Structure 1
Amino acid sequence: MLPPRDSNDFHIALKQEREKKGLTNTELAEAIGINTVMIGRYEHTCHENYYSVPSQETWRKLNDYLSTGTRVNLKSSNSIEDLSVEDLIKELKNRGAKSINIEW
């Protein structure tokens, strides 16, 4: 799990996790649906040019992908109306749900 996006060691942890998975910046960015230059910006320290902090949504996508290796399929709106039951269950499991009860 990545540290909070605004922590001093986020940039180090992100780079370590990405490299541990054998991913390039481009591969990781494409997997979570962001611009390819952003991973490099997140991995810079706050004292360097081009430093950036991911949004909470992007942090979640990074954390989910690096934890599970599963591509992020949700649209940025996270609207459940657009998901199949199978996709919704998969997303809930990726987020740590132990059981799911669906009532119609």
Structure 2
Amino acid sequence: MFILSLTYTAELSDVDLHIEPHVDWVKDGYDRGIFLASGRKNPRTGGVIFARGTKAEIDEIVATDPFTVHGVADYQITEVAMTRAAPGLEGLTE
């Protein structure tokens, strides 16, 4: 599994110009079975996505995020080998 931590690199007004396409991009990630969970950071400085796939697939999908394309956010990608999960979240483990 991968943790995608994105941090805004532009003013929120610039980020907001790309919110709708980004939300569509996130929906596509869920539809493709790649994204498992996602949400905004609090305070609103970026977001976090839990994803599955290969490193190459993750790199490819991150490169197509409108936030990446328009240079308003940077991603830190961390691979995690989950070995335990709470009941109901077993799908997060490998």
TM-score, structure 2 normalization? 0.28
Which structure has the greater CA radius of gyration?
1
> Which of 1 and 2 has higher RCO (CA within 8 Å, sep 6+)?
2
Which structure: greater helix fraction?
1
